[in-house]
Amino acid sequence: MSMQSLSANGITWHYSLDATEEDLLVLQGKYHFHKLDIEDCLSENERPKIEEYPQYLFCVIHIPARITSRIHKEEIDIFVGKDFIITLAEGKSDVIENLWKLVKHSPKKSEEYFAQGTGYFLYKLLDMLFDRGFPLIESMVKDLRRIEVELFENEEGQINILRDILTLKRNIITMRSILFPQRAVVALLQHKKKELITEDLDLYFDDVSDAIERQWSLLDTAKEMSDALQDTHESWLGHRTNQVIRLLTIFSVTMVPLTFLSSLYGMNVQLPYQDNPQAFSLLVLLMMTVMAALLGYFAWKKWL
């Protein structure tokens, strides 16, 4: 997908999902970007940050996204000047794609988003990007509740629950690691380039910061829930293991005297009552009596 551009109210928006080095060099020649910013755009793993220059701001933003059942981070590189904004993403970005289609095909929305300058448009973009985190957290909370129900009501399926819990914990940890640096990055935007992000926009960027903080708080709760579910699941597995060990121990203990008696009368020596025709029946009766006595004792001690 080549670089796309549209203009409205004296502002030009350049947008690409797979910008090449050649595309970036063209933009650099047009807007005089610093070469280090171009290198950052080409880098695969760049940390979230804001760089301020006399003519523009350069932002690296990370947002959470889901592929199948796994949360991963998407990097968005943004250049913001007085009369231009450039958004560069790697791979498919539904939020930017939808925003592009909206302002391209709706003159009313184009007027609304661009009339107040690039600072306001940056706010709308960030607001949409970070709002996508709420459905992700909501889906994780639903999964936690489903696991909770299975953990306490479906005993047969509990052995496979650990995989689901660990998958959720991985997603929670990943999303927290993505959001943590964004809290500082978005907060810093309010103190950068006041000719781009004017004081009247502070309230808007506060709203984005609040959204991130709410997500962080929800993730804290989800993390505590996942930890509690894992502890509960491990306790259940330990209890189940103890039950099995207890039954095996009881079986072993009851078999010890029976094994002793059968081994004793299997010896090639003269033993009492060995020649009695009822010896076998008496031995079996003795063994059953010993077993019943032991089981009765275990029941009396509430070990069964």
Q: What is the pLDDT of residues 31-46, one digit of tens each?
A: 999 999 999 988 877 8
- Residue 97's pLDDT is what? 84
The percent of residues in the chain predicted with pLDDT above 90, rounded, is 24
Burial class (CB in 10 A: 0-12, 13-18, 19+), 235: exposed
Q: What pLDDT, on a 0 to 100 scale, did the predictor assign at position 193?
A: 63
Quick check: 52 and 192 in contact, CB under 8 A?
Answer: yes
Do 142 and 283 lie in one domain? The reply is no
Residue closest to 140 by CA, chosen among 61, 244, 66, 32: 66
Which residues, other chains included, contact 299 with Cβ-Cβ below 8 Å and sequence gap of 6+?
none
Mean pLDDT of 241-264: 79
Which range, of 41-55, 101-115, 260-274, 277-291, averages the lowest pLDDT? Answer: 260-274
Tell me: do 258 and 183 sit in the same domain: no
Q: Is the pLDDT of residue 28 over 70?
A: yes
Q: What is the CATH number of the domain that holds 260?
A: 1.20.58
Q: What is the CATH number of the domain that holds 31?
A: 3.30.460.20
Q: Is pLDDT above 90 for 214?
A: yes
Tell me whether residue 252 is in a domain: yes
Quick check: is 233 in a domain? no
11-16 sheet: strands from edge to edge: 4-8, 11-16, 84-89, 70-81, 56-67, 49-52
pLDDT of 274 reads 66
136-164 pLDDT, tens digit each: 999 999 989 888 888 877 665 566 788 88
C-alpha 208, offset from chain centre? 21
| Domain interval for residue 222 | 4-228
- Terminal-residue alpha carbon distance, the chain: 70
Domain end, chosen from 172, 199, 228, is at: 228
Distances (CA, A) of 39 to 21, 25, 158: 9, 10, 49
**Residues 191, 247 within the same domain:** no
Mean pLDDT of the chain: 84
Of 54-68, 135-149, 274-288, give the lowest mean pLDDT range: 274-288
* H-helix or E-strand spanning residue 52: strand 49-52
Residues 121 and 193 in one domain: yes
Q: What pLDDT sits at residue 152?
A: 75
* Same domain (yes/no): 154, 285: no
Lowest mean pLDDT among 66-80, 223-237, 279-293: 279-293
Q: Which amino acid appears at position 279 of this protein? A: A
Q: State which of 203, 228, 253 marks the end of a domain.
A: 228
d(CA 14, CA 28): 13
Mean pLDDT check: name the lowest of 128-137, 164-173, 247-256: 247-256
**Of 209, 228, 247, which one is at a domain's C-terminal end?**
228
Beta strands in 130-259 (DSSP E): none
Helix (H, G, I), strand (E, B) or coil at 263: helix
Residues 184 and 256 in one domain: no
Residue 218 pLDDT level (bands cut at 50, 70, 90): very high
Do residues 113 and 182 share a domain? yes
- Check residue 271 and give its pLDDT: 65
Pair 154, 55 in one domain: yes
In a domain, 91, yes or no: yes
Same-domain status, 149 and 246: no
**Radius of gyration over alpha carbons of the chain, in Å?**
34
Residue with tokens 């009501």: 153
Q: Are residues 212 and 288 in the same domain?
A: no
**Shared domain check, 170 and 246:** no
How much of the chain, in percent, has pLDDT values that exceed 70?
Answer: 90
Residue 194 has pLDDT above 80, yes or no: no
pTM: 0.75
Looking at the predicted structure, is the pLDDT value of residue 215 above 90? yes
Residue 234 lies in a domain: no
* Whether 142 and 107 share a structural domain: yes
Instruction: Quote the pLDDT of residue 100.
Output: 86
What is the total count of domains within the chain? 2
